[in-house]
Amino acid sequence: MEEYINSLKKNIDKRDLLLALQDFQNKFGYVDQAFIEQLSLKTGIPSGKIYSIASFYNQFRFIRPGKYHIKLCSGAACHVNAKENLVAELYKLIGIKDRESSPDGKYSLEFIPCMGACALGPVMSINNNYYTQLKIKDLKKIIHDLDEI
């Protein structure tokens, strides 16, 4: 990561701010504070402002993702399909909440607006494997299997 930050251009156009953030996140899975500080020096935008802009968008994450990055849909259809029960169960199983990573770095959790499969809700994805019409029983098994690895 240090290498990537050092290899940044000397001056970055203010208009390329979001592109730079996206590029960084695609490579490292999240936006790091060190990167925001560097970006601030190179664009001339204060770091507080960059964080404000980045936190406005759901697409940016600010925590290092775990080995298994769990995305849980919190769209309306998934919500009415008892998503909240799944959230409570997930908390019981891995002890983390929205936008948190477990201390051992194994899991991270993120609620996202919609995955576009509303008819199949509640929807969850773990590292781009999708689980649909998820029941608590299924969830327990999935996490249990991952715990074994």
Partner 1 sequence: MEFNITVNRNSIKAVKGETILAVLRRNGISVPTLCNIPELSPTGACRICVVELEDSGELVTACSTPVAEGMKIFTHSRKVIAARKTIVELLLTNHQDNCLYCEKSGDCELQDLAGDLNIRERSYVGFGVPRSPKTDRSDPGIVRDMSKCILCGRCVRICEELLGVCAIDFVNRGNNIAVDTVFQKGLFYSNCIHCGLCITACPTGAILEKAVGAQVCEKIDNKDKNSTIILAGSTIADLALHFNIRKFEDARNYLVAALHDIGFNNVLTLGYGNEIFITEHAKKLAMSAGKQNPPLIISDCPAVRKFIRTEMPDMEKYLSKIPTPQQIMGKILKSGESQTEILVSASACVAHKYEAVQNDNSNKGAPDVDYVITTRELLGLLKTHGVVLPYKKKESPDKPSGSETSAGVLFETKGGISETILRELFYMSGGQKYPKKIFEVKTDKPFIEYEFELNGVIYKIASLHGIDTLRQKKNEIINGSYLFVEIRSCTAGCLNGCGHLHSKDPEVQKKLKKIITEFDETNISDTAGKNPFIKGFYKQIGKESLFDYD
Residues between 3 and 42 that touch partner 1 (CB under 8 A) = 33, 36
Omega before residue 46 within 30° of 0, cis: no
CB of 19 to partner 1, least distance (A): 20
Under the binding rule (CB under 8 A), the answer on residue 79 touching partner 1 is: no
Written as six digits, the tokens of 56 are: 């406005």
Cβ closer to partner 1: 84 or 147? 84
Residue among 81, 116, 86 at smallest CA distance from 98: 86
DSSP 91-110: HHHH---TTEE-TTSSEEEE
Smallest distance, Å, CB 119 to partner 1?
26
- Which three-class secondary structure state does DSSP give residue 11? coil
58-77 positions binding partner 1, by CB under 8 A: 62
Q: Which is nearer to partner 1, 50 or 72 (CB)?
A: 50
Determine the residue type at 121: G
Question: Taking the complex as a whole, how short is the minimal distance between the CB of residue 24 and partner 1, in angstroms?
Answer: 15
Contacting residues toward partner 1, per CB under 8 A? 33, 36, 46-52, 55-57, 62
